[in-house]
Amino acid sequence: MSEIIWSPSRLKVAESCMAKYYYMYIKPETSTSTAEMAMGDLFHRLMQEFYKESGEPKYKSAEAFANTAVARWQFMIRQEATKGRKIVWGYKAEPYVFKNKIIPETGNIIYNTYQNRIPPVENEFGFNVEIDGIHYRGFIDAIFPFSEQTGKVAVADFKTHRVEPRKEKLRTDHQFTVYHLIVGFLLKNNLELRRKVGIPDDLAEIVGIDGVYMSPHIEMQWHQLRNGNIIPTERTDKDYPWLVRSIEDRVEQIEKQNFSRHPGYDCNFCPVKRKCDGDLKSRIKLEIPESPQIEIFPTPEKKKKGLRKHQYKLKL
C-alpha cells in the first residue's frame, strides 16, 4: 500500500467519518465545496496578504478590506468553484446571503481584529517532515514572533466556522496536536526559522529538547475569524501517543477498507453529502479501486511544482 502522507485536515476528516475520507482522498473526483468551505478559502487567502512588508495593514480601512473580500466572493460565484472544486450551494440565495451579509461582516471583524496586531513572521508555512515513521505534510496558517512576555511562540489556525469549539473539544483536537508537534520539530531543527521567529539563543536549546515532542514554548491558537476571538489550547507530551494511536487506527481502517459512515450534525456541512447519500441509496460498497490508474493517496498539485520557498523536508 502507498505511504499515507498525513496533513492535519486529512487526519481530521478521517477521524470524523471514514466515508468522507474515502470520497475526499481515495476518490477525490467526487469532492465538492460548500459555501462555508469557499468562504474559508477566501479569507485564508486574504489573511496571507493582509500585511505589507512594513507590518502595516495593506488596506486603508475595514470597508476597503471588506470590499475586496466581496469582490473576490463575486468572482467565486461566477466561477462556481474554489481550489478546483465545484461549489454546491445549499439553497438558491445562499451565494448572495454570503455576499451581502456574511462576507462583509466577517471582513470588518477581521480588519478590526488584526489591524493593530503584531504581524506573523510566517504565513501559510509549508512543512513536509517525517517523525517516528509518520509522514506529515501541510501548511500552517501563521506563526507569530516569540513573545518575551509569555515565553511562547503563538501559532494560529484561522477558522471561519459559524460556531466556536468548546475548550475541552479543542484540547483533544488532533489537528492542533499535529501543528504543535510540527512547529516544535521545525523550531528545533531549523536555525533560520528559529532566528526569524526571534527565539533568544539561550532558550533555543529548550524549545525542542530531545525526547520532547510538544514544546512548552508553543501556544496553539484557534482564531475565530467571524467574531475575532482567539482561543488558546495547550498540548503536552502526553498527547503524542494519542495522536500516533489515532493515525495507526486510521491506517488499519483503510487497509481493511473500512469506510464506515458516521452520520451526525456534521453531515449538514459535508462536501460529499450528495455522493454519500446517492451511494447509500444504491447500496454501493466503498472500496479502494483496483485500477492502477487511480492513485490511492493522490499527491497534491503543489508537490509536482517542487517545494515552496519555506517548505522543509526533514526526517528524524
Residues that bind ligand SF4 (CB under 6 A): 17, 19-20, 261-263, 266-267, 270, 272-273, 276
In the complex, least distance from residue 246 CB atom to ligand SF4, rounded to whole angstroms: 17
In the complex, least distance from residue 11 CB atom to ligand SF4, rounded to whole angstroms: 15
Give bridge partners of residue 6 from the DSSP assignment: 136
In the complex, least distance from residue 287 CB atom to ligand SF4, rounded to whole angstroms: 15
Which grid cell sits at 293? 490508474
CA dihedral (109, 227, 46, 187) in degrees, to 10, reads 130
In the complex, least distance from residue 269 CB atom to ligand SF4, rounded to whole angstroms: 8
By C-beta, is 10 or 152 nearer to ligand SF4?
10
117 closest CA partner among 50, 166, 169: 50
By C-beta, is 167 or 274 nearer to ligand SF4?
274
By C-beta, is 154 or 270 nearer to ligand SF4?
270
Question: Taking the CA atoms of the chain, what radius of gyration do you get in angstroms?
Answer: 20
By C-beta, is 19 or 110 nearer to ligand SF4?
19
Q: Is-contact 113 159, C-beta < 8 A?
A: no
- Residue 124: CB partners within 8 Å, gap ≥ 6? 44, 48, 139, 140, 141
By C-beta, is 22 or 111 nearer to ligand SF4?
22
In the complex, least distance from residue 201 CB atom to ligand SF4, rounded to whole angstroms: 48
Residue 172 per-residue DSSP state = T
In the complex, least distance from residue 88 CB atom to ligand SF4, rounded to whole angstroms: 12
Distance CA 55, CA 61 (A): 15
Residue 127 per-residue DSSP state = E
Give bridge partners of residue 131 from the DSSP assignment: 134
Q: Is 119 exposed, middle or buried (0-12, 13-18, 19+ CB in 10 A)?
A: middle
Which grid cell sits at 180? 504543535
In the complex, least distance from residue 15 CB atom to ligand SF4, rounded to whole angstroms: 12
By C-beta, is 45 or 261 nearer to ligand SF4?
261
Distance CA 158, CA 155 (A): 10
In the complex, least distance from residue 307 CB atom to ligand SF4, rounded to whole angstroms: 32
The single residue listed with the C-alpha cell 456541512 is 269
At residue 187, φ and ψ (nearest 5 deg) are -65, -30
By C-beta, is 20 or 180 nearer to ligand SF4?
20
By C-beta, is 238 or 283 nearer to ligand SF4?
283
Distance CA 140, CA 155 (A): 8
